[in-house]
Amino acid sequence: MLESPFHRGGTTRRSVLAAGLSTGLLAALGPAATAAAAGAVPAADWFAAPTRTVRPRFRWWWPDGLVDPVEIAREIDQIADAGFGGAEIAAVHHSITDTSVLDIAHHGWGSAAWRDGVAAALRQAARRGLTVDLTLGPSWPVAVPGVTPDDDAAVKELAYGKVSLTAGAAYDGPVPPPVRAAASGVTVQTLLAVQAARVNTANSSGKATGLDSDSVTDLSAQVSDGNLSWTPPDQATWVILSYWQRGSGQQPEAGPHSSPAAYVVDHFSAAGTAAVTRYWDGEILDPTLRRLLGSAGGAFFEDSVELETKGLQWTPGVPDAFRRRTGRDLLPYLPAVVLDSGNQVFAFEARLTQEIRHDFWATVSDLFNEHHLGALKEWAHGHGMKLRSQPYGLQTDAIASAAVLDIPEGESLGFKNLDDYRCLAGGRDMAGHRILSCEAGAYAGGAYNTTWDRFLRTMGGAYAAGVNQTVIHGFSYATAPGVSWPGFAAFSPYGGAPGYGESWGPRQPTWRHVPDVAGYLGRVHQVLQSGTARADVAVFRQTGYTATGIGASWLTATGVPLGWTHQFLSGPLLDLPSARVSGNRLAPDGPAYKALFLEGDFFYGSSPTLAVADARKLLGLARAGLPTVLFGAFGQALTPGLPDDGETAELRALTTQLLSLPNVRQVSDKTLVGAAFAELGMTPDASYATPSTLLNAHRVTAEADFYYLCNGKHAETVKPPVAVIDHDVTLHSTRRSGAGAVPYLLDPWTGRVSRLARYTQDGDAFTFRVTLQPGETLVVALARPAAFGDRSGARPHVVATDADIALFTDGSLAVRATAAGTYTTTLSNGRTLTTEIPEVPAAVTLDGWSLTVDDWRPGADATSTEIVGHSLTLDALLPWSQIPELADVGGIGRYRTAVTLPRTWTSSMGALLRLGTVSDTCRVSVNGSRLGPVDRLNPVVDLCGLLRPGANTVEVEVATPLFNRLRVSNPAVFGAAARQSYGLVGPVQLVPYAQRTVA
């Protein structure tokens, strides 16, 4: 909390990645950036009333096509009325184990009934100003009907067979069959090659059998009619290996979803993508849907790439692609890359094995980005849509994928920490795209017990790491055959227990207050989608995986708690047009990194590796003035893949040149990374007086610097819990914001903008105190006077005061205190003022309350709710679980109490209402006037102007989850868990203050 007048509550990497960027940076950044480029001062309602385009969205779960268009239109209205911006249609019904009740022959995914539902959604969304995203197939991974496991377009695996020969024994028999049988429905498997290799236990690694790489012998030509005869050349132990190409037979999760059944497509070939686009163009997108997409279509969506196989993920084009990429044949190296249930089977010498695996997965990554993501994006654009995707789950370069996509997306469930988001943010920002989306709020066992404060704590840090679109997990369609109250839920029950995520919507008591949450999220998005993102440091990754939890040495553990920000780049991003240096900044028109940091590859033993092409580019960037810090023995760098003749020497010559530059530092101890940045003159845009859990994100427009601040943590699993922070913070404005900037506080809960009254300034640096509860957020803008409708003008501000706070109000400067006394205030023009505050009533704890409760219970059918009323008088506040009449209740409670103020109460007095603990959402009214939204993570509201001498009435309306009621109404699923603590628990305090104008 800050001092304010309110208290809250074949294709080259370049051609693939650069595709779609020709429309220009401003177009990519959207209307907010375009207005910024024109130099427009943000209007008063720019923040208060964010447009639909930036508001949060829902993942909208349907039981395939068993939906009623009338109900679909009604649910679009419910989403719109609650203040959200759209929805993503997803066919997901993990809770229904007997899928025969869904009648997929007539109501499956892609059926006429499903298409009618989509049309109804798009039609009503167009009327309401929402957009609708369409998942590319039922459930996940991407699959379409009409593809069989044996088709060229179906997902593939490489299976291996094995026979061991000891003491020189000969072999005469069938080619070894795969060690694992093919999946159901797979009838064709093609022999790719047969090899022999000598066992060398010195090369064994873990459970992987060691082999001599020089001994690998191709026996394919000796196979006749499926049989092989071969005698080893010595008395050592040998293995005969066979490799079989076949479909993996994978179907989308929790199917079947369609008739005929859908099978997952090959994500590494043009044939797999063509099967998807051909099905959509030929079977789904009739003229009506094509027209409606133009009115309300948003993006085609692909969930995380969870390809499941017992063998090696494969496509028949891998050998040719490997040869094009490396100049080598893949087959002699196959033993080092083949897998069994995700585990390595064989290994060569450790270094060689590492190099070959790197080259293999880099090849697969290129195929995925080109043939799958790149091709799908081009097709989506042809329909006036964008492509949004979660480009992880494979050992591919997700950082590069994020640059290919229109909208990369992460997830709060699968991502281990904030660095996973920072990987995708680097790709987004280097490509000049605007959005980093997040599948938000999926919790194991979270059905009907997820609170909004948990959701907000989860997402607070994600926004600081680059996320600026929220797709909430999720909104379930109303009903399906055989479901129980309160209706169909995509993931609950799940294995007989509460499932993943929450089913938000009118079935939830908190839906009554959800517009407050939607407004908060929309305002956060409004700020974080404006202009361009800024980050202090680019961390170069040799291997661009994400969803790994792997951070950056010093920066993640030490730099972030001091205010530093960073993003991750991988090699393909250095081919983008933005990868240039100006004014010693990398990507000066985008994230404008002040420095580049390089360390050993975490995914390959932290070895100091660097591709020659990348080393050449990094040298060019450093020569252009980019400060660079290397951690590790890069004077002895190795190539990440198998080097050509002379390539290692060439690499070390390049790194020697790099290390000789005056703006480059090499450190051997990660604790010295920060000192190296300091030697190079680097300081963060935001810095803290003391290390803390404060996180920040910086966005820059032509007229303002925006800083999003959150008291969060690197990962939800980090212990101990985040504590209150209370320290000085220094924020820097940029040259783009212009001279004469002043700080503004933007309250994302209420939408109010106020001029910050107390701070010190040193050039472009503004320093002020920040106090935030765990999870609490704050937005600060450094902008010219008169921004956001401000009428304070170029007035002096407070640099020091012993009053509680200083604030601008009605164009004047005032101080506020909760106790009588004489207060001294020093202004920025050097004047010192004294202010007398008369007696202020003491703070009071509000104990006695009347409580009426709407108890939500199962009604006549699965979607009907019966309301039973309760009325109680409370001498002390307790959670409902400790009140016998309310122990199993979920619903809406209305607390009412009276407080008497003395006759000396005047219009210059006010009070803060501190609610203490409250679960889940709440609203406050005083003397019949409802206040604005209450910050869920710091429920303190300012009652200024609403109190009067004598009797005053305070009312607090609280809405809860339904879990306690479901424990007794559906004990088979929910009964094993303990009751949750609901209601207003407090302590609730009224803290009076007096306010006086000082200038």
Q: Is the pLDDT of residue 740 over 90?
A: no
pLDDT, tens digit (0-9, with 9 covering 90-100), for 98-122: 999 999 999 999 999 999 999 999 9
| Predicted pLDDT of residue 735 | 63
Chain-centroid distance, C-alpha 353: 33
The structure tokens 């948003």 sit at 298
Dist. CA 601–CA 361, nearest whole Å = 15
Binning pLDDT at 50, 70 and 90, where does residue 58 land?
very high
Q: Which residue has the tokens 């270094």?
A: 351
pLDDT 10s digits, 551-598: 999 999 999 999 999 999 999 999 999 999 999 999 999 999 999 999
d(CA 440, CA 838): 49
CB 135 within 8 A of CB 303: yes
d(CA 939, CA 916): 7
**Structure confidence at residue 786 (pLDDT):** 85
In 169-226, where do the E strands start and end? 171-174, 189-198, 209-210, 217-218
Give per-residue pLDDT as tens, 165-191. 999 899 999 999 999 999 999 999 999
H or E stretch including 59? strand 57-62
For residues 671 and 639, give the distance between their C-alpha atoms in angstroms, rounded to a whole number.
Answer: 26
> At residue 461, does pLDDT exceed 90?
yes
Contact 323, 409 (CB under 8 A): no
pLDDT exceeding 90 applies to what percent of the chain? 91
- Check whether 547 has a pLDDT greater than 60: yes
Query: For 954-975, what is the mean pLDDT?
Result: 97
Q: For residue 399, give the nearest of 599, 530, 569 by alpha carbon.
A: 569
Which residue matches tokens 């385009």? Answer: 53
- For the stretch 184-219, pLDDT in tens is 999 999 999 999 999 999 999 999 999 999 999 999
742-769 mean pLDDT = 96
Judge whether 165 and 237 are in contact, CB under 8 Å. Answer: yes
CA angle 473, 474, 478 (to 5 degrees): 165
Nearest in space to 410 (alpha carbons), one of 388, 433, 380: 388
Place of tokens 């093919």: 182
pLDDT of residue 41: 60
Q: Residue written as tokens 């290692």?
A: 648
CA distance 23 to 543: 29
pLDDT in the model for residue 38: 34
Tell me the β-bridge partners of 769.
Answer: 728
Q: State the alpha helices, DSSP H only, in 348-481.
A: 350-367, 375-382, 398-404, 418-430, 452-464
- What count of Cα atoms within 13 Å lies in the side-chain half-sphere of residue 866? 9
Going by pLDDT thresholds of 50, 70 and 90, the confidence category of residue 997 is very high
DSSP string covering 813-871: EEEEESS-EEEEEEETTS-EEEEEE---PPPEE---EEEEEEEEEE-SSTT-EEEEEEE
Provide the strand spans (E) within 526-594: 532-534, 537-541, 566-570, 581-582, 585-586
Distance CA 141, CA 154 (A): 12
Residue 960 has pLDDT above 90, yes or no: yes
CA distances from 591 to 148, 362, 389, 525, 544 (A): 45, 26, 22, 18, 18
Q: Per residue in 681-703, pLDDT tens? A: 999 999 999 999 999 999 999 88
Q: Within 13 A of 501's CA, how many CA atoms are on the CB side? A: 28
Name the residue type at position 678: A
Please report the pLDDT score of residue 654 as a whole number: 98
Residues in CB range of 507: below 8 A, 6 or more apart:
486, 487, 863, 865, 962
Fill in the amino acid letter for 963: F
User: For the purposes of burial, counting CB atoms within 10 Å of the CB of 176, is it exposed (0-12), middle (13-18) or buried (19 or more)?
Assistant: buried
- What is the rounded distance in angstroms from the CA atom of residue 555 to the CA atom of residue 593? 14
Helix (H), strand (E) at residue 276: helix 270-279
- Please tell me whether residue 557 adopts helix, strand or coil conformation: helix
279-294 pLDDT per residue, tens: 999 999 999 999 999 9
* Cα 62 from Cα 138, distance rounded (Å): 10
Is residue 14 predicted with pLDDT exceeding 60?
no
Q: Are 168 and 234 in contact (CB under 8 A)?
A: yes
Interstrand relation of 849-858 and 844-845 (parallel, antiparallel or unpaired): unpaired
- Is the pLDDT score of 402 beyond 50? yes
Q: For residues 611 and 975, give the distance between their C-alpha atoms in angstroms, rounded to a whole number.
A: 56
- CA Rg value for the chain: 31
**Is the CB of residue 701 less than 8 Å from the CB of residue 39?**
no
107's enclosing H/E stretch is: helix 104-107
Task: Summarize pLDDT for 636-655 with one digit per residue, the tens.
Answer: 999 999 999 999 999 999 99
In this prediction, residues 113-135 reach a mean pLDDT of 98
Q: Within a 13 Å sphere around the CA of 450, how many CA atoms are in the beta-carbon half?
A: 27
Core vs surface per residue 472-486: b (16+ CB within 10 A) or e:
bbbbbbbbbeebbbb
Q: What backbone phi and psi angles, to 5 degrees, belong to 367? A: -65, -40
Contacts 24+ apart (CB under 8 A), 387-392: 387/299, 387/300, 387/302, 388/133, 388/299, 388/300, 388/301, 388/302, 388/437, 389/301, 389/302, 390/302, 390/303, 390/304, 390/305, 390/439, 391/305, 391/424, 392/304, 392/305, 392/545, 392/546, 392/547
Distance CA 645, CA 422 (A): 36
How many CB atoms are located within 10 Å of the residue 757 CB?
Answer: 28
Closest to 480 measured CA to CA, from 62, 966, 972, 59 = 62
Average pLDDT, the chain: 94
Annotate 777-829 with DSSP letters as a single string.
EEEEEEE-TTGGG----S---EEEESSSEEEEETTEEEEEESS-EEEEEEETT
Position 49, amino acid: A
Spatial CB neighbours of 583, under 8 Å, sequence gap ≥ 6: 625
Yes or no: say if 357 and 378 are a contact pair by the CB < 8 Å rule.
no
Distance CA 612, CA 629 (A): 18
pLDDT at 737: 52
Average the pLDDT over 629-635 and give the result. 97
| Amino acid occupying residue 410 | G
Is the model's pLDDT at 333 over the cut of 70?
yes
Three-state secondary structure of 389-425: ECCCCCCCCHHHHHHHCCEEEEECCCCCCHHHHHHHH
To 10 degrees, the CA torsion angle through 133, 135, 139, 143? 180
Nearest to 662 by CA among 648, 639, 680: 680
pLDDT for 12 beyond 50: no
17, pLDDT greater than 70 = no
CA distance 780 to 731: 9
Residue 804 in tokens? 């509680």
The residue type found at 300 is: F
